[in-house]
Amino acid sequence: MNWLIGAIAFWLGAWVLNLWLAKRPKMKLAAFVVPTLFGITLLILWEGVVRGFQINPVLLPAPSSIGIRFASSIPTLWVDFVQTFMKGALSGFVIGCSAAFLTAVAVDRSPFLQAGLLPVGNFVAALPIIGMAPVLVMWFGFDWQSKAAVVVVMVYFPMLVNTVQGLKASEPMQRDLMRTYAASYPQALMKLRLPAAMPFIFNGLKISTTLALIGAIVAEFFGSPIKGMGFRISTEVGRLALDMVWAEIAVAALAGSAFYGCVAMIERAVTFWHPSQR
Amino acid sequence: MSWFMRHALPILTVVIAIMVLWYAGAVGLNSKWAYDKAKRANVELSFSGLIADTLSQIKPKLPAPHQVVAEIWRTTALKNITSRRSLVFHGWITLSATVLGFFMGTGLGILLAVGIVHSRAMDMSVMPWVIASQTIPILAIAPMVIVVLNAVGVSGLLPKAVISMYLSFFPVVVGMVKGLRSPDHMQLDQMRTWNASKVQTLWLLRLPSSTPYLFTSLKIAMAAALVGAIVAELPINQNGGLGARMLVGSYYGQTIQIWSALIVAAVLAAVLVALIGVLQNITLKRMGMAR
């Protein structure tokens, strides 16, 4: 019972502190402290509830036991991470996004194809493409190639739609200026329209980071070698070793957030001129 | 006519190109098996024979579109809808989980957005985690959520709906925060001069002006909810659903079955999103906000 009371007391304390911090004039530090405190509060509440109600660790392990499991099985987690993220998700992400980008540039000169591709691409991007996973595992075998293929299919259409839209983003005035400079098509593309498209392209890339990890993990449910995050999750769920599953999820969460953060940082460097970055 | 030339014709061209590619792919991918069969039977395979064989195999690597359409017709129109072989039966299971999760997600999303707009502390503490929650591949947790909820005694629709909810609340939060903040200072000042309370401002100004944002987010949320429901059905074999159908199909190499489930899921997604689009048009027109 003490655990529960302690957790609730911490929650109230953190709440009051957060309210106080939020009321104060804007500080750089507060923007970092407030969400961190909130996250820690959630973890402590979780720990307190698990210990206070003595929840069976098969149902919901406490964060502390997940942490211990995480620390003790780092080699396994690393092998899984390399298999799923480095080989499956990352290679698929690179192939899929560059293929979509090249397609978008290729159809750029034909308004006819664009008018056809945009609605179809938008439609396909909203479809449950993840359902292709069993088919692609059947085609490309159990190893990382099939995972990369799933990722390629998943990221292709969101990326394509965003790039095609981005290439249309430059203003008529700016395009006219290019014409008065007698700029050739490649020049106008490189100097004006691609830079103007960057916010859209990075939007597509950011959506794709999450999709890539999801695709690689879910594809492993349909067959994989005896390593990989999806494989580990589905087998450890079968053995009811939920602390290992949560450790895998922690890895996925860290990898996903770091991947997203990397792309967002590159975006900040490339599109420094955009109003949303200032 | 000009509408046809500008919109329908390009789309039609792209769709036809996809169909042609699909047929070509079916011939290419299935030809190995066709050649193997012909070799064992000691017959020379003519070109037309090859085409005919590759487009009519029982377990092809890539089924041809007409095979998938025939399978869909066979399993929807020609089967009793309560039969376990009917795609309508499986589609209904997935649809109910999707819709339940969608409403739960939308409710949660709107509540969070209202809280975020009204409390700075909540804005600062919750918003970063809402964004972080989506960089976590939640679908990876799907099997665990289902196993755990099953162990607690919650089974059937709700575990799947929970996953749909998790995927669909995010676009609603982001869209609604933007929408609830869309009234400009002038309008907010006007509410203040009328001495309107916070609740009145929310109800009479903020909510109405957020409707266009709401509908845009709802479309994304609906598509996400369907993906969530299908993936929730994948990990362990459950009592029906389009995802379960795909899983069983992949176990037994029934590619036509996988593809028909996929196409039905696609049609379902399109219909649901179109439905919200119609609702959006009607609502915005009656509110005088249609563009």
Q: Provide the pLDDT for residue B68.
A: 85
Domain boundaries, chain A: 2-55, 70-277
CA–CA gap between residue B205 and residue B202 (Å, rounded) = 6
8 A C-beta contact, residue B208 and residue B289? no
Same domain, B127 and B258: yes
**What does the block give as tokens for B132?**
């972080």
CA–CA gap between residue B69 and residue B262 (Å, rounded) = 12
- On whether residue B253 sits in a domain, the answer given is yes
Most confident segment among A98-107, A162-171, A210-219, B252-261: A98-107
Q: Is the pLDDT of residue A43 over 70?
A: yes
Same domain, B125 and B260: yes
Does the distance separating the beta carbons of A257 and B135 come in below 8 Å?
A: yes
Q: Which among B136, B227, B258 has CB closest to A256?
A: B136
Burial label, A275 (beta-carbon count in 10 A; 0-12, 13-18, 19+): exposed
What single DSSP character describes residue A86?
I
Same domain, B53 and B91: no
* Segment A97-111 mean pLDDT: 88
Q: In Å, how far from its chain's centre is CA B290?
A: 26
Same domain, B31 and B93: no
Closest A-chain CA to B247:
A134
Per-residue b/e over B155-182, b at no fewer than 16 CB within 10 Å?
A: eeeebbbbbbbbbbbbbbbbbbbebbbe
Residues of A with Cβ-Cβ distance to B151 under 8 angstroms: 58-59
Please report which confidence band the pLDDT of residue A278 belongs to, taking 50, 70 and 90 as the band edges.
low
A214 contacts chain B (CB < 8 A):
yes
Does the distance separating the beta carbons of B141 and A18 come in below 8 Å?
A: no
**What does the block give as tokens for A160?**
């394509």
Same domain, B255 and B146: yes
8 A C-beta contact, residue A22 and residue A30? yes
Does the distance separating the beta carbons of B255 and A139 come in below 8 Å?
A: no
Note the helical H segments in chain A.
Answer: 2-23, 28-52, 63-72, 74-81, 91-107, 111-125, 133-140, 144-167, 172-180, 185-188, 194-220, 229-238, 242-270
* Segment A124-147 mean pLDDT: 81
CA–CA gap between residue B280 and residue A196 (Å, rounded) = 31
Q: Does ipTM exceed 0.85?
A: no
Mutate to test the interface with B, among A55, A214, A232, A265 (most CBs of B within 10 A): A214
Burial label, B133 (beta-carbon count in 10 A; 0-12, 13-18, 19+): middle
* Segment A141-158 mean pLDDT: 88
Q: Is the pLDDT of residue A194 over 70?
A: yes
Closest B-chain CA to A112:
B10
What single DSSP character describes residue B140?
G
Residue B24 CB neighbours (<10 A): 10
Same domain, B205 and B135: yes
Same domain, B24 and B142: no
DSSP run (H or E) holding B190? helix B185-193
Q: Is the pLDDT of residue A156 over 80?
A: yes
B223 contacts chain A (CB < 8 A):
yes
The residue that leads in pLDDT, B177 or A27, is B177
Residue at token pair 């975020």 = B116
Q: Tell me the backbone φ, ψ of residue A227, rounded to 5 degrees.
A: -145, 170
Q: Provide the pLDDT for residue A73.
A: 86
CA–CA gap between residue B130 and residue A79 (Å, rounded) = 29
Q: State how many domains chain B has.
A: 2
Instruction: Write the single-letter amino acid at A134.
Output: P
**What does the block give as tokens for A218?**
């879910």
Q: How many helices (H) and strands (E) does chain B have?
A: 13, 0
Q: How far is B85 from chain A (nearest CA, A)?
A: 19
Mutate to test the interface with A, among B141, B242, B275 (most CBs of A within 10 A): B141
- On whether residue B291 sits in a domain, the answer given is no
CA–CA gap between residue A20 and residue B127 (Å, rounded) = 18
Same domain, B16 and B105: no
A230 contacts chain B (CB < 8 A):
yes
8 A C-beta contact, residue A55 and residue A49? yes
* Segment A63-69 mean pLDDT: 87
CA–CA gap between residue A88 and residue A223 (Å, rounded) = 13
- On whether residue B36 sits in a domain, the answer given is yes
Mutate to test the interface with A, among B135, B168, B248 (most CBs of A within 10 A): B135
What's the mean pLDDT when you consider all of chain A? 84
Q: Is the pLDDT of residue A90 over 80?
A: yes
**What does the block give as tokens for A63?**
């964060």
Of the candidates B47, B62, B77, which is a domain's last residue?
A: B62
A111-125 and A91-107 helices, crossing angle to 10°: 150
CA–CA gap between residue B277 and residue A119 (Å, rounded) = 15
Q: Provide the pLDDT for residue B235.
A: 62
- On whether residue B75 sits in a domain, the answer given is no
- The pLDDT tens digits for A207-258 are 888 888 888 888 887 777 888 888 888 788 778 788 888 888 888 888 888 8
Domain span at B183: 87-286
Per-window interface: A 15-74 vs B, CB < 8 A: 15, 18-19, 21-23, 30-31, 34-35, 37-39, 58-60
B270 contacts chain A (CB < 8 A):
yes
A264 contacts chain B (CB < 8 A):
no
Q: Provide the pLDDT for residue B177.
A: 87
Same domain, B49 and B160: no
CA–CA gap between residue A110 and residue B135 (Å, rounded) = 35
Same domain, B204 and B282: yes
Q: Provide the pLDDT for residue B291.
A: 56
CA–CA gap between residue A222 and residue A230 (Å, rounded) = 9
Per-residue pLDDT 10s for chain B (291 aa) are: 566 777 788 888 888 888 888 888 888 888 877 888 788 877 777 777 777 777 777 778 788 888 888 888 888 777 777 777 788 888 888 899 899 999 999 999 999 999 888 887 777 777 777 777 776 666 666 766 777 777 777 777 888 888 888 888 888 988 888 888 888 888 889 999 999 888 888 888 888 888 888 888 898 889 889 988 888 887 665 677 888 888 788 778 788 888 888 888 888 888 898 899 899 889 988 888 765
A237 contacts chain B (CB < 8 A):
yes
Does the distance separating the beta carbons of A132 and B262 come in below 8 Å?
A: yes
Instruction: Write the single-letter amino acid at A115.
Output: A
The residue that leads in pLDDT, B87 or A197, is A197
State the CATH number of the domain containing residue B157: 1.10.3720.10
Residues of A with Cβ-Cβ distance to B218 under 8 angstroms: none
* Segment A119-143 mean pLDDT: 79
Per-window interface: B 238-267 vs A, CB < 8 A: 242-243, 246-247, 249-250, 253, 255, 258-259, 261-262, 265-266
Q: Which among A59, A128, A134 has CB closest to B269?
A: A128
Residues of A with Cβ-Cβ distance to B259 under 8 angstroms: 135
Instruction: Write the single-letter amino acid at A136.
Output: L
**Length of chain B counted residue by residue:** 291
- On whether residue B76 sits in a domain, the answer given is no
Of the candidates B46, B62, B78, which is a domain's last residue?
A: B62
Does the distance separating the beta carbons of B242 and A35 come in below 8 Å?
A: no
Predicted TM-score (pTM) of this structure: 0.80
Residues of A with Cβ-Cβ distance to B135 under 8 angstroms: 209-210, 253, 256-257, 259-260
8 A C-beta contact, residue A68 and residue A124? no
Same domain, B127 and B263: yes
CA–CA gap between residue A160 and residue A150 (Å, rounded) = 16
- Give the HSE-up count for residue B116: Cα atoms under 13 Å, Cβ half-sphere: 24
**What does the block give as tokens for A140?**
């490309």
| Domain A70-277, CATH number (from 3.40.1410.10, 1.10.10.60, 3.40.50.800, 1.10.3720.10) | 1.10.3720.10
8 A C-beta contact, residue B104 and residue B167? no
B41 contacts chain A (CB < 8 A):
no
Same domain, B105 and B183: yes
Does the distance separating the beta carbons of B7 and A134 come in below 8 Å?
A: no
CA–CA gap between residue A257 and residue A35 (Å, rounded) = 15
Does the distance separating the beta carbons of A249 and B135 come in below 8 Å?
A: no
